């Protein structure tokens, strides 16, 4: 059994510190090395059996599962266990213990965010998109998704942010604070080439907080620009796309393209 180093470069330094500084023997309580990792932003999800005198812990760096292996002397290695034949040993277990709970947590966070409904509430597929009112790629995604949305196959939930231009926040506020936010979003997208929706005269403190919270969530999920798209696959795990999806990725994201009749009938 080998341990392969993690693909996240910043973890190399953590590993060295833990190997050097945590030599005391550990009992069944959480090892001190894990506390050091938590202080540096690693989430410790659950312990799992690995044998070979090691204690295995499933952790997460952001939304990426990682394995943490604590030796009897209390030192820890962060990385991937590799079998003699070169195969990765714990990937399936880490997916089960980390990826699925993280997907549930992220989906709940998205559900609580300030988003605008675009499509039928009972659509079988829900897709979240971090959107800026001035983002041309968000507008292109909105247009590309029309066949699925109009056919009732997909509900888009636009998580509004205001970051691209000086009037992005006031336009986002005009959408979020409208009596009919869906209609306001549609107005912005259908008139995008002509400047979109008229900006609000001011952004209230409450609305600015909603926009700030949305942007923090966007960055926390690893997106640095818009659109940042999040869906769930058939296995319940997250699908994330940065930017405007290519045609093949769009089909994977939204499902088979609806027929013209389905779009006209809204089914």
Tokens at 3, concatenated: 């341990």
Exposed/middle/buried for residue 118 (C-beta within 10 Å: 0-12, 13-18, 19+) = buried
For residue 56, the model assigns a pLDDT of 95
Given strand 76-82, what is the order of strands in its sheet?
Answer: 2-5, 76-82, 64-70, 55-61, 43-48
pLDDT of 8 reads: 41
CATH number for the region 113-265 comes to 3.40.30.10
Which residues make beta-bridge pairs with 238?
A: 232
Using H for helix, E for strand and C for coil, what is the string for 33-93?
HHHHHHHCCCEEEEEECCCCCCEEEEEEECCEEEEEEECCCCCEEEEEEECCCCCECCHHH
Q: Which pTM value belongs to this model?
A: 0.76
Q: Name the one residue in this structure whose structure tokens are 């002397």.
A: 73
* Mean pLDDT by groups of 10 residues along the chain of 267 residues: 41 38 48 91 90 92 88 93 93 89 92 98 97 98 98 98 97 98 98 98 98 96 95 90 95 90 54
CA distance 129 to 240: 10
Per-domain residue ranges of the chain: 2-99, 113-265
Distance of alpha carbon 32 from alpha carbon 74, whole angstroms: 7
Contacts of 153 by beta carbon, 8 Å cutoff, 6+ apart = 123, 124, 125, 254, 255, 258, 262
2-99: CATH number: 3.10.450.70
In the numeric block, which tokens belong to residue 10?
A: 């910043």
Question: In the prediction, which pLDDT does 152 show?
Answer: 97
CB atoms within 10 A of CB 222: 12
Among residues 168, 175, 161, the alpha carbon closest in space to that of 113 is found at 161
DSSP letter at 193?
G
């Amino acid at each position: 059994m080998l341990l392969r180093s993690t693909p996240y470069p910043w973890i190399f330094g953590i590993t060295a510190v833990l190997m050097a500084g945590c030599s005391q023997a550990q009992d069944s309580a959480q090892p001190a090395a894990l506390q050091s990792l938590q202080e540096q932003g690693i989430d410790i999800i659950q312990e799992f059996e690995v044998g070979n005198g090691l204690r295995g812990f499933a952790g997460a760096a952001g939304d990426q599962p990682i394995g943490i292996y604590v030796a009897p002397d209390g030192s820890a290695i962060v990385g991937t266990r590799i079998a003699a034949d070169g195969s990765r040993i714990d990937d399936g277990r880490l997916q089960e213990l980390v990826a699925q709970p993280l997907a549930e947590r992220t989906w709940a966070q998205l559900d609580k965010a300030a988003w605008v409904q675009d499509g039928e509430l009972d659509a079988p597929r829900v897709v979240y998109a971090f959107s800026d009112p001035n983002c041309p790629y968000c507008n292109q995604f909105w247009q590309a998704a029309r066949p699925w949305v109009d056919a009732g196959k997909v509900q888009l939930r636009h998580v509004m942010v205001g970051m691209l231009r000086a009037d992005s926040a006031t336009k986002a506020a005009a959408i979020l604070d409208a009596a009919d936010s869906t209609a306001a979003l549609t107005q912005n997208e259908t008139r995008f080439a002509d400047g979109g929706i008229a900006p609000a005269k001011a952004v209230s403190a409450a609305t600015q907080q909603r926009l700030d919270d949305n942007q923090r969530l966007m960055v926390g999920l690893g997106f640095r620009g818009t659109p940042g798209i999040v869906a769930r696959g058939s296995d319940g795990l997250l699908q994330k796309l940065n930017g405007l999806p290519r045609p093949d990725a769009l089909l994977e994201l939204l499902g088979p393209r609806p027929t013209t009749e389905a779009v006209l009938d809204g089914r």
